[in-house]
Chain A
Amino acid sequence: MRWLRRNIVVFAGLLTLAYLILPNIVVMVFSFNNPAGKFNYSWQEFSTEAWQDPCGVADMCGSLVLSLQIAFFATIGATVLGAMIAFALVRYRFKARGAINSLIFLPMAMPEVVMAASLLTLFLNLGAQLGFWTILIAHTMFCLSFVVVAVKARVLSMDPRLEEAARDLYAGPVQTFLRVTLPIAAPGIAAGAMLAFALSFDDFIITNFNSGSTVTFPMFVWGSAQRGTPVQINVIGTAMFIIAVLIVVVAQLISSRRKHSAQSK
């Protein structure tokens, strides 16, 4: 009993973890289901049919490719713009800092639906054609702040003397940036970019408002929740999960091995 009390945090924590992981397990298990009707909500029988034909549902893989494209370009846009802002915020003094900080903070402190709706009023008023470009603009906008935060944290922890040292060693402003600032800030920029990619790829609410008749992958899943959920959705979800976990594990292994070999040298 005392043992139980002493480890109560461990049990509570693991229960929460189970709660977090459970849906992923369900998604994975149901990717092998052979549902009776149009909806894949209750277990019928084991089948690998969906795995053998992941693109067997009309339009699904197209929407997946579209989501990847948008995420790719939105990531580039948000990362470039966001990193520039982060550098300016940390490394320079300028006027209206408070206003700029609020402008960056507010998109993160606002329910997505508000941003989505207001952006739609802008596009409607301008008579813009909703589709790929409006989605891209919207995604770049809401990913930007997150990139700023990630890059800012990294640049803040960077010793300003490193840049001074570079300038002292005959590197002009451009050289200093390329040879010292950028490589050292790279992990922060990469973190920001990854976050932007994930946010954009998985975004539904803002896309829902500003996509017109264009269908991204989350939009496809949303639609299928109304019309019928093909097993292939679970296949894609599971595949994404496995690929991402593999990338994380491999990255961990590489970094720990590099650290290890560096120490033993």
Chain B
Amino acid sequence: MTDTQAGGDVRLSGISKNYGSFQAVHPLDLTVPQGSFFALLGASGCGKTTTLRMIAGLEDPTTGTVFLGDRDVTGLPPYKRPVNTVFQSYALFPHLTIYENVAFGLRRRGIKSVKKQVGEMLDLVELGDFAQRKPHQLSGGQQQRVAVARALINHPQVLLLDEPLGALDLKLRRQMQLELKRIQTEVGITFVHVTHDQEEAMTMADTVAVMNGGRVEQLGAPAELYENPHTTFVANFLGTSNLIEAEVVSTSAGKVVVSAADATLRLPADRCATAPTTGGKILVGVRPEKISLLHADEAAQITDGRNRLTGTITASSFIGVSTQFVIDSPVCPDLEVYVQNIERDVRLVPGARVVLHWNPEHTFGLDAAQDIDAGVETVGESAS
């Protein structure tokens, strides 16, 4: 099998794609290690699907080279590449049965006896009883599994997944995320997964590349990206971040001290994406769930050495596991704070004066010379 061969990485070298004068993908170097679950994450139009299609061979790159292992496949048409795709909305052949859909790739490669393989593959995705049905007789989740089976049966070196769960409802999507992860672990094939859903990318992938405007903004393990975003786009697109514009007061012994309005905040120098210079600007970020919230009357309880801010609650919404507060503070008019639903303080209602505090270690710093709202999901843009 090709998939067990050493050096089966997917390597993109200087690859780019232009449509007329529009540059969909800027020259890009990317290596997807063999056997990994790799996610390309970004909003629609960020170039992630184009990148995927260039790996599949469905799109010719304007410049650059695609390597599968050591082999240059840039000039190969899709039907000669050991790569298969699970398409968005599946693209199951409506005129063929499930059985024939799954057998399609094997038959095209001239394999005569496909019965055993197709049967096994349908069992793997738990659709053995549906072999003789047509795609339109299956539910969305079942169609999705057929699409996976149809691609996997060919034992591709790389499986490409283009928004494979986009058409499913939330509950089914969760279920299929785990299912796909299980299959990937079982077969050990490299998965390259394109999605706009940050939660999906983080749940499933070993490595996530966040794309924006045809470029990879940051690449890393999900936790690494989440805890240590390097750009405002990543900070905002992956979860929610409170970003505060601040001035650097001093840098010493790995600690950076900054001031914003009436507050003084500290953060570790090694969590700054840009080298802070005294007197310069910096964006200070902290995740909403890292922040603790206290009514102003109890401000004295807060131990020294924690970052603290004051403010007024402007909105709160109770969502079961937690309560989400929006706080108007002198440093930022809409700080978000998520409070675990353990013991609820009934005084924390809109209008109440509060103190926010958190461990300085949980603070990160970003270059101030970028759009502070980049990557924030706005109404209407949020894809389901």
Direct touching of A and B (C-beta under 8 Å): yes
Binding site for B on A (CB under 8 A): 159, 161-162, 164-172, 175-176, 179-180, 183-184, 262-263, 265
Interface range for B: 20 to 34
Contact B91 A265 (CB under 8 A): no
Question: How far does the alpha carbon of A137 sit from the alpha carbon of B108 in the complex, in Å?
Answer: 39
Given that A159-B89, A164-B58, A265-B133 are contacting pairs, would A169 and B104 also be in contact in the complex, using a CB cutoff of 8 Å?
yes
B80 to chain A, nearest CB (A): 8
B85, CB-defined interface residue at 8 Å: yes
Question: How far does the alpha carbon of A205 sit from the alpha carbon of B118 in the complex, in Å?
Answer: 57
Please name the residue on chain B nearest to A160 by beta carbon: B91
Given that A169-B154, A170-B105, A170-B109 are contacting pairs, would A184 and B94 also be in contact in the complex, using a CB cutoff of 8 Å?
yes
Residues in B neighbouring A183, C-beta threshold 8 A: 95
Task: Please report whether the interface of chain A is mostly helix, strand, loop or mixed according to DSSP.
Answer: helix
B88, CB-defined interface residue at 8 Å: yes
Given that A161-B88, A262-B134 are contacting pairs, would A170 and B93 also be in contact in the complex, using a CB cutoff of 8 Å?
no
B318, CB-defined interface residue at 8 Å: no
Given that A262-B134, A263-B137 are contacting pairs, would A168 and B84 also be in contact in the complex, using a CB cutoff of 8 Å?
yes
Residues in B neighbouring A263, C-beta threshold 8 A: 137
B193, CB-defined interface residue at 8 Å: no
Contact B85 A262 (CB under 8 A): no
Given that A167-B78, A263-B137 are contacting pairs, would A161 and B87 also be in contact in the complex, using a CB cutoff of 8 Å?
yes
Residues in A neighbouring B41, C-beta threshold 8 A: none
B212 to chain A, nearest CB (A): 25
Contact B91 A164 (CB under 8 A): yes
28 A-B residue pairings within 8 Å (CB atoms): A159-B89, A161-B89, A164-B56, A165-B85, A165-B87, A165-B91, A167-B57, A168-B56, A168-B58, A168-B78, A168-B87, A169-B79, A169-B105, A169-B108, A169-B151, A170-B108, A171-B79, A171-B104, A172-B77, A172-B108, A175-B79, A175-B108, A176-B79, A179-B104, A179-B108, A184-B95, A262-B137, A265-B132
B17, CB-defined interface residue at 8 Å: no
Contact B108 A171 (CB under 8 A): yes
Number of A-B contacts (CB under 8 A): 74
18 new A-B pairs (CB below 8 Å) besides A161-B91, A167-B78, A169-B154? A159-B89, A159-B91, A164-B58, A164-B78, A164-B85, A168-B57, A168-B58, A168-B78, A168-B79, A169-B79, A169-B104, A169-B150, A171-B104, A175-B79, A183-B95, A184-B93, A262-B134, A265-B137
B131 to chain A, nearest CB (A): 12
Question: How far does the alpha carbon of A170 sit from the alpha carbon of B80 in the complex, in Å?
Answer: 6
Residues in B neighbouring A166, C-beta threshold 8 A: 93, 104
Residues in A neighbouring B95, C-beta threshold 8 A: 183-184
Most buried by A among B85, B92, B104, B150: B104
Question: How far does the alpha carbon of A159 sit from the alpha carbon of B147 in the complex, in Å?
Answer: 15
Residues in B neighbouring A162, C-beta threshold 8 A: 91, 93-94
Please name the residue on chain A nearest to B83 by beta carbon: A168
A264 to chain B, nearest CB (A): 11
Please name the residue on chain A nearest to B58 by beta carbon: A164
Binding site for A on B (CB under 8 A): 56-58, 77-80, 83-85, 87-89, 91-95, 104-105, 108-109, 132-134, 137, 150-151, 154
Question: How far does the alpha carbon of A175 sit from the alpha carbon of B109 in the complex, in Å?
Answer: 11
B252 to chain A, nearest CB (A): 57
Task: Tell which of B58, B134, B151 touches A167, judged by Cβ atoms closer than 8 Å.
Answer: B58
Question: How far does the alpha carbon of A117 sit from the alpha carbon of B139 in the complex, in Å?
Answer: 57
Residues in B neighbouring A161, C-beta threshold 8 A: 87-89, 91
A240 to chain B, nearest CB (A): 32
A239 to chain B, nearest CB (A): 35
Residues in B neighbouring A175, C-beta threshold 8 A: 79, 108
B78 to chain A, nearest CB (A): 4
Question: How far does the alpha carbon of A164 sit from the alpha carbon of B151 in the complex, in Å?
Answer: 13
Residues in A neighbouring B91, C-beta threshold 8 A: 159, 161-162, 164-165
B93 to chain A, nearest CB (A): 6
B274 to chain A, nearest CB (A): 42
B151 to chain A, nearest CB (A): 8
Please name the residue on chain A nearest to B95 by beta carbon: A183
Residues in B neighbouring A164, C-beta threshold 8 A: 56, 58, 78, 85, 87, 91
Residues in A neighbouring B133, C-beta threshold 8 A: 262, 265
B208 to chain A, nearest CB (A): 24
Contact A169 B84 (CB under 8 A): yes
Residues in A neighbouring B79, C-beta threshold 8 A: 167-172, 175-176
Question: How far does the alpha carbon of A165 sit from the alpha carbon of B137 in the complex, in Å?
Answer: 20
Residues in A neighbouring B78, C-beta threshold 8 A: 164, 167-168
B70 to chain A, nearest CB (A): 22
Please name the residue on chain A nearest to B81 by beta carbon: A168
Contact B137 A167 (CB under 8 A): no
Residues in A neighbouring B134, C-beta threshold 8 A: 262
Please name the residue on chain B nearest to A167 by beta carbon: B78
A67 to chain B, nearest CB (A): 34
Please name the 8 residue pairs, one residue from A and one from B, whose CB atoms are nearest each other, closest first: A169-B105, A161-B91, A170-B108, A165-B91, A167-B78, A183-B95, A171-B108, A168-B85
Residues in A neighbouring B150, C-beta threshold 8 A: 169
Contact A165 B93 (CB under 8 A): yes
Please name the residue on chain B nearest to A183 by beta carbon: B95
Please name the residue on chain A nearest to B147 by beta carbon: A165
Question: How far does the alpha carbon of A235 sit from the alpha carbon of B167 in the complex, in Å?
Answer: 56
Please name the residue on chain A nearest to B136 by beta carbon: A262
B161 to chain A, nearest CB (A): 12
Please name the residue on chain A nearest to B105 by beta carbon: A169
Please name the residue on chain B nearest to A158 by beta carbon: B94
Question: How far does the alpha carbon of A263 sit from the alpha carbon of B79 in the complex, in Å?
Answer: 34
Question: How far does the alpha carbon of A8 sit from the alpha carbon of B132 in the complex, in Å?
Answer: 49
